[in-house]
Homo-oligomer: A and B are copies of this chain.
């Protein structure tokens, strides 16, 4: 940090089990990836190449190399996994992970209809090759999953070998954990937390109000994902109680008295 301020919550250090930030790259150029690493590299634990953007982005191997040299792992968005699965190309997908030297992969079923036993089998198989992030929740706003089901799906996927589970929200933050307005399904979140340890969950929270909700509920070191590259620095200030939204949250009572 550039200077000293008191009463700032302690952040975990890399490699982080909690306080983890996942950024979403939806098509950065090489220089933009370098800019991103310069400013936000310290605060980003992993980069997701959003959905199947890796299929069309030029210079993919060079971009992955920029992140890897900065010590930031990269993985393909779950939609790419699903695109291979639905086409019967799982073996191609496994080879693709090796081709790009990736050590993380996402298993999801946000756009496909897949038996949960089969999803867990994919998690088990991929977990022998890479660290698996599995995602729960549909991209279809009309498919509402009740809280007890979120819990049982998450638990089964962790049992199958997922390192962490991701709560779905899309790039826009308007499905899954959230209502179409972006409002958090707070009852759902609280019920999930009665059963699943908070450090095992990455909450996709692209909107500022969503990030603020989770930080106020779970503290500076909650795991958050789908953060746009230019929102990493703002998010870090929210975690530290240094933006208006969480300004008072980490201060002691005396500091909050009226200044006269």
A residues within 8 Å of B by Cβ? 1-7, 26-32, 34-36, 38-40, 42-43, 50-60, 79-80, 82-87, 89, 92, 96, 99, 110-115, 118, 139, 170, 172, 208, 230, 232-234, 236-237, 240, 242-244, 247-248, 251, 255-256, 258-260
Contacts and interface: CB of A to CB of B under 8 A. Distances in A.
Number of copies: 3
16 contacts: A2-B55, A5-B84, A6-B87, A26-B233, A26-B234, A30-B38, A38-B59, A55-B237, A56-B233, A79-B243, A87-B255, A110-B244, A113-B258, A118-B259, A170-B244, A172-B208
Considering the complex of A and B, which 7 residue pairs feature the smallest CB-CB distances, nearest first?
A27-B233, A52-B242, A29-B35, A139-B244, A111-B247, A114-B259, A115-B260
Given A38-B58, A39-B27, A42-B58, A51 B244 contact: yes
A238 to B, nearest CB: 10
Given A7-B87, A35-B29, A55 B242 contact: yes
Contact of A52 (B80, B89, B243): B243
Contacts of A260: 114-115, 118
Contacts of A234: 26-27, 50, 53
